[in-house]
């Protein structure tokens, strides 16, 4: 089911007209659907059937408190990559036991806070980090639960910036080095080995790379078990792709079924989906400011820019852009560009659309890595975020003001 659909000739978010929400909250604007978020979470959860499992939503995809809170109410856990995300999860109603902490550059302060909070597990990305966690655990007289993030050296066949499971990437420890590190962790006084972790990349459109990774990780688990270690969970990371263009990604059902074909019945499986829960639950709404047809190209200048939604500029990502209330002005090929002073500031190029000034457009599948990657570049205020629940709309982050931006700065005396 699509929670953003046209009724009476105009785009709706659940039961609300997007055009009315744009009037009420202004543009540019992020709009999320509660039902879409919950449904995607449930699709993953249900796909596991009675296989022991936990879902740790990857907070970095969309860390709005309301989004985290809805997922916490569904029973989701959370994969975090910073102390800031730890605080967000706790404020959103998650508990420390719902949290796994990934990331290659955890600071002492972040580790101290997470050990003190009693999080579920650290996904450890290097030998030095393991030492640091042991040290901090001893200082606090607390035992820290750990899994090693292993790098299975598989090609996720995705964009190089979001491929993480190759030997040449900065993530995890080489799978060949893992047994020695596990031995060390098992002997450490203030570490408790819980599991094995991997995460091979994002926006994966095929299941083959997951199968390769899971087989390599299971071979490691066998070896660790033979050496007398008890591995209590397998964390297979996130990364399932979503539909931006024509290519259709595997469903949560196919993805989970494929993983479970390889995993022993009694081995608990953790996954960390981010994009595949949040992306299709959100749209980015922007308004046409000016139409500027030229000899070379036709520019539609819109009020949303690369600072609001950077995926097209950063990765050359293609996202569908649709008119909110289609009409039949002349169709042309448009480049949809923002007000930011960079030629790389575009939301889409060569889009065939019938446009007039003041038209509203929606960029689809913008619920993940949209607002979360927004910045104040060009001193632009970051957009508002609104969550729709059937026929109600909640402002879950108000639009920034210039006062918000300036508050942290000061002039010399
Ligand atoms: C980013 C990330 C995820 C989530 O990736 P998605 O592509 O959004 O599903 C999961 N685990 C780790 C360790 C990550 O860094």
Distance 238 CA to ligand 1 centre (A): 5
In this prediction, residue 239 carries a pLDDT of 96
Higher-scoring residue by pLDDT: 323, 168: 323
Q: What is the pLDDT of residue 379?
A: 98
Q: Which of 146-155, 187-196, 381-390 bottoms out in mean pLDDT, i.e. has the lowest?
A: 146-155
Closest atom of ligand 1 to 102 CA is: 13
Residue span(s) of the chain under CATH 3.20.20.10 come to 103-271
Ligand 1 neighbourhood includes 351 CB (under 6 angstroms): no
Domain with CATH 2.40.37.10 in the chain: 4-32+279-406
Q: Is residue 253 predicted with pLDDT exceeding 80?
A: yes
Largest CA-CA distance found in the chain, in angstroms, rounded? 72
Round to whole Å and give the CA distance between 47 and 173.
30
**Average pLDDT of the residues in 203-212:** 94
d(CA 395, CA 24): 10
Q: Decide: 200 and 154 in contact? Cβ < 8 Å.
A: yes
pLDDT band at 160 (very low <50, low <70, confident <90, very high): confident
pLDDT at 166: 75
Pairing of strands 77-80, 282-293: unpaired
61 Cα nearest atom in ligand 1: 8
DSSP-assigned beta bridge partners for residue 149: 197
Q: What are residue 403's phi and psi, to 5 degrees?
A: -60, -40
Omega before 335 within 30 of 0, i.e. cis: no
At 150, is the pLDDT very low, low, confident or very high (cuts 50, 70, 90)?
A: very high
Q: Which fold has domain 4-32+279-406?
A: Lyase, Ornithine Decarboxylase; Chain A, domain 1 (2.40.37)
Ligand 1 close to Cβ of residue 13 (< 6 A): no
Average of per-residue pLDDT across 217-236: 97
Residue-level pLDDT at 156: 78
> Can you tell me which residue has the tokens 């995993």?
263
pLDDT value for 1: 61
pLDDT digits (tens, 9 = 90+) for 13-33: 999 999 999 999 999 999 999
d(CA 198, CA 109): 24
pLDDT category of residue 2 using cuts at 50, 70 and 90: confident
3-state SS class at 79: strand
Nearest-CA residue for ligand 1 atom 1 is 58
> Residue 358 gets which letter from DSSP?
T
Identify whether 341 is a catalytic site residue: yes
Where are the alpha helices (H) located in 263-401, listed in sequence order?
A: 275-278, 311-315
Q: Which residue has the tokens 């949290």?
A: 99
Task: With residue 271 as reference, give the H or E element that holds it.
Answer: strand 269-271
DSSP-based three-state secondary structure for 251: coil
Reported pTM: 0.97
User: In the numeric block, which tokens belong to residue 252?
Assistant: 């949560």
Q: Cβ neighbours of residue 107 under 8 Å, at least 6 residues apart? A: 83
3-class DSSP assignment, residue 232: coil
Q: What is the pLDDT of residue 310?
A: 98
Q: Tell me the two tokens of residue 384.
A: 């508002």
At residue 110 the predicted structure's pLDDT band, cuts being 50, 70 and 90, is very high
CB 272 within 8 A of CB 58: yes
Statement: residue 164 has pLDDT above 80: no
Which residue among 37, 40, 54, 58 is best mutated to probe the pocket of ligand 1, counting the most ligand atoms within 8 A of its Cβ? 58
From 121, 198, 331, 341, active-site residue: 341
Q: State both tokens at 233.
A: 């969970």
User: Is the distance from CB of 19 to CB of 295 less than 8 angstroms?
Assistant: no
Q: Is pLDDT of 161 > 80?
A: no
What fold does the segment set 103-271 form as a domain?
TIM Barrel (3.20.20)
pLDDT mean across residues, the chain: 96
Q: Report the helix count and the strand count for the chain, using DSSP H and E.
A: 12, 21
DSSP 142: -
Whole-number Å distance, alpha carbon 398 to ligand 1 midpoint, is 27
* Percentage, residues of the chain above pLDDT 90: 93
Do 79 and 59 contact (CB within 8 A), yes or no?
yes
Q: What are phi and psi of 363, to 5 degrees?
A: -95, 120
- CB count in 10 Å sphere of residue 102: 28
6 vs 241: CA distance, rounded Å: 25
pLDDT, one tens digit per residue, over 71-99 is 999 999 999 999 999 999 999 999 999 99
Least Cα distance to 62 among 276, 288, 303, 363 occurs for 276
Among 86, 189, 76, 200, smallest CA distance to 140 is for 189
Q: Which of 275, 247, 254, 286 is nearest to 37 (CA)?
A: 275
Mean predicted confidence (pLDDT) in 318-347: 95
Ligand 1 centre to CA of 2 (Å) is 24
């Amino acid at each position: 089911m699509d929670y953003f659909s046209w009724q009476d000739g105009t785009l709706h978010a659940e039961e609300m007209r997007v055009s009315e929400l744009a009037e009420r909250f202004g543009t540019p604007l992020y709009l999320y659907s509660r039902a879409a978020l919950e449904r995607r979470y449930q699709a993953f959860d249900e796909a596991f059937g009675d296989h022991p499992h936990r879902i740790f939503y990857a907070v970095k995809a969309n860390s709005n408190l309301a989004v985290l809170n809805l997922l916490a109410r569904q029973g989701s856990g959370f994969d975090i990559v910073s102390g800031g995300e730890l605080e967000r999860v706790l404020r959103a109603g998650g508990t420390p036991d719902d949290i796994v902490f990934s990331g290659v550059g955890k600071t002492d302060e972040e580790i101290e806070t997470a050990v003190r909070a009693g999080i579920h597990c650290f996904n450890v990305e290097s030998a030095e980090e393991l030492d640091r966690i042991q040290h901090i655990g001893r200082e606090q007289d607390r035992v820290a639960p750990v899994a090693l993030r292993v790098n299975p050296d598989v090609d996720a066949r995705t964009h190089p910036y979001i491929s993480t499971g190759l030997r040449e990437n900065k993530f995890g420890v080489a799978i060949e080095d893992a047994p020695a590190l596990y031995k060390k962790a098992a002997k450490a006084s203030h570490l408790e080995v819980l599991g094995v972790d991997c995460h091979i990349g994002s926006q994966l459109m095929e299941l083959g790379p997951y199968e390769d990774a899971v087989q390599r990780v299971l071979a490691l688990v066998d070896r660790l078990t033979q050496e007398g270690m008890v591995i209590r969970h397998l964390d297979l990371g996130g990364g399932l792709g979503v539909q931006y263009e024509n290519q259709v990604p595997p469903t949560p059902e196919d993805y989970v079924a494929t993983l479970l074909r390889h995993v022993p019945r009694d081995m608990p499986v953790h996954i960390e989906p981010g994009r595949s829960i949040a992306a299709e639950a959100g749209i980015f709404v922007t308004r046409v400011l000016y139409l500027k047809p030229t000899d070379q190209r036709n520019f539609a200048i819109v009020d949303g820019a690369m600072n609001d939604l950077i995926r097209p500029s950063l990765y050359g990502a293609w996202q569908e852009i649709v008119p909110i209330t289609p009409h039949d002005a002349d169709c042309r090929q448009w480049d949809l560009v923002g007000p930011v002073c960079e030629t790389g500031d575009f939301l889409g190029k060569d889009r065939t659309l019938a446009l007039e000034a003041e038209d509203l457009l929606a960029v689809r599948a913008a619920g993940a890595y949209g607002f979360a990657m927004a910045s104040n570049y060009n001193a632009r205020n970051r957009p508002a975020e609104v969550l729709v629940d059937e026929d109600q709309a909640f402002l879950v982050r108000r639009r920034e003001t210039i006062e918000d931006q300036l508050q942290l700065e000061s002039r010399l005396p």
